Amino acid sequence: MTVTLPYDTAAKFADYAHPEMIVSTEWVAEHLDDPGLVVAESDEDVLLYETGHIPGAVKLDWHTELNDPVTRDYVDGAGFSRLMSQKGISRDTTLVLYGDKNNWWAAYALWVCSLFGHPDLRLMDGGRAKWIAEDRPLTTEVPQRPQASYPVIDRDDKELRAFQDQVLAIYSVGATYHDAVTMEVAAPSAQATPQSQARWAELDRQADELAARLHALEAAPPNEAAAAAVAQALAALGAARSATRTYRTTGEVADAETVRSRLQMFEQSVGALRTVRG
């Protein structure tokens, strides 16, 4: 039987991209005994759960349960199915995660669950620290939830991860764009010819492709360094395109120098993406 739990409608969550995935400590306290809800704690400190946790909360050990014991990877579909079933979590469960260090590892756990497309995942705002600061109840009693039957779901990593081939493709197109624009700027006398106009049209197409690839990577960066590099690359690409539009209108030497400067910034930011590992 599917039990649909209401979303937390607190005004402070309205500006989030996905407010349906955030709940307050008040919401958790109110719905703690609702059927269909499982609260899970996932901590950096793997012994913290045993010192006291939200009543009824199960433990999700990031190190031993969500990671593959042999390969440097997350659990596979069979392993995730086995883990969820053991914790009493079904496909219909509303799963609320929280933990220490501002939900650092709880957010990781939520992301892993997202790889398997669990339908209803939520993160408790403020995590363990906020629950304790509000003097809400803790227990050392480990809940005995009935075994569930969670289906084996194949991970769909491409929806949430960026991989090295994506990043290198951006670098390749970016390097081609940089070199071609540099050559056009170096030949100002030919800027008004039909051949030059055709080359600029092709460069505009390349820039559009670059922007699309960067925005796709921006939606699911593999780490914080990649997110920062993508943001810099998008900003630098926008500045370079703006400078080239000005130069194509004026043909002035000073504007050509601005284009070169903006292209150098763009080349550096795209080059930083080569360090990304998906």
Write the pLDDT tens digit of every residue in 94-135: 999 999 999 999 999 999 999 999 999 999 999 999 999 999
What burial letters (b/e) apply to 132-159, b meaning 16+ CB within 10 Å?
Answer: eeeeeeeeeeeeeeeebebeebebeeee
Name the helix (H) or strand (E) containing 129.
helix 127-133
Verdict on whether the full-model pTM lies above 0.85 = no
How far apart (Å, rounded) are the C-alpha atoms in residues 223 and 201?
Answer: 34
Write the pLDDT tens digit of every residue in 224-240: 667 777 888 888 888 88
State residue 247's pLDDT score. Answer: 83
List domains and CATH numbers for the chain.
11-156 (3.40.250.10), 164-275 (1.20.120.230)
CB of 129 closer than 8 Å to CB of 136: no
> Residue 1: is its pLDDT beyond 50?
no
Write the pLDDT tens digit of every residue in 21-72: 999 999 999 999 999 999 999 999 999 999 999 999 999 998 899 988 787 7
Mean pLDDT value across residues 134-154: 96
Mean pLDDT of the residues in the chain: 86
Pick left, alpha or beta for residue 103 (phi over 0 → left; psi -120 to 50 → alpha; otherwise beta). left
Write out the E strands in the chain. Answer: 22-23, 37-41, 58-59, 94-98, 121-124
Confidence of residue 277 (pLDDT cuts 50, 70, 90): very low
State residue 48's pLDDT score. Answer: 96
Please name the amino acid found at residue 242. S
Residue whose tokens read 């991860």: 161
Cβ atoms within 10 Å, residue 43 = 25
Q: Is 256 exposed, middle or buried (0-12, 13-18, 19+ CB in 10 A)?
A: buried
